[in-house]
């Protein structure tokens, strides 16, 4: 009981000190308010959209090309995802991965185990797109 009285007594005697915070005097921005109120003109937006469409079609044709090696297909899908444009080609990428899983259920042979980089790339892409559970086992697990 005495200890609580001492604690309460010491708490009451502590004076509240005013906290003084330093003021930062930053120089004005070199750019001013340019980026605070940025808006693109409608004509420029349409021009960019017209320039993007042929590039999207070219990329789609690269994805759907039949003469590519499997490792090249894995790398192309990886590059498209890393560039952040995979949302334009979600349907095509899913179709390619489904086709690969359906055609090759065991993933055995030299085509699938060229090197460690290709193996890890196919594992990551299949895992990210939810196709990994469809594969009964991996070659490196045996």
Q: What does the pLDDT look like over 5-58, one tens digit per residue?
A: 444 555 555 667 888 888 888 888 887 777 777 778 888 889 999 999 999 999
Look at the pTM and tell me if it is higher than 0.85: no
C-beta contacts of 31-38 below 8 A and 24+ residues apart: none
Give the pLDDT confidence score for residue 52 in this predicted structure: 94
| Residue the block writes with tokens 């708490």 | 11
**CA angle (115, 117, 119) in 5-degree steps:** 70
């Amino acid at each position: 009981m005495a200890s609580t009285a001492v604690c309460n007594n010491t708490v009451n005697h502590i004076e509240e000190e005013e906290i003084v915070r330093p003021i930062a005097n930053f120089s004005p921005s070199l750019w001013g308010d340019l980026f605070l109120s940025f808006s693109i003109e409608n004509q420029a937006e349409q021009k960019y959209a017209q320039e993007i469409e042929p590039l999207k079609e070219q990329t789609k044709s690269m994805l759907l090309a039949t003469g590519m090696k499997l490792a090249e297909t894995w790398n192309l899908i990886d590059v498209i995802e890393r560039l952040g444009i995979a949302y334009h080609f979600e349907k095509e990428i899913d179709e390619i991965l489904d086709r690969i899983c359906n055609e090759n259920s065991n993933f055995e042979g030299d085509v699938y185990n060229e090197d460690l980089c290709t193996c890890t790339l196919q594992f990551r892409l299949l895992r990210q797109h939810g196709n990994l559970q469809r594969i009964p086992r991996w070659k490196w697990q045996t």
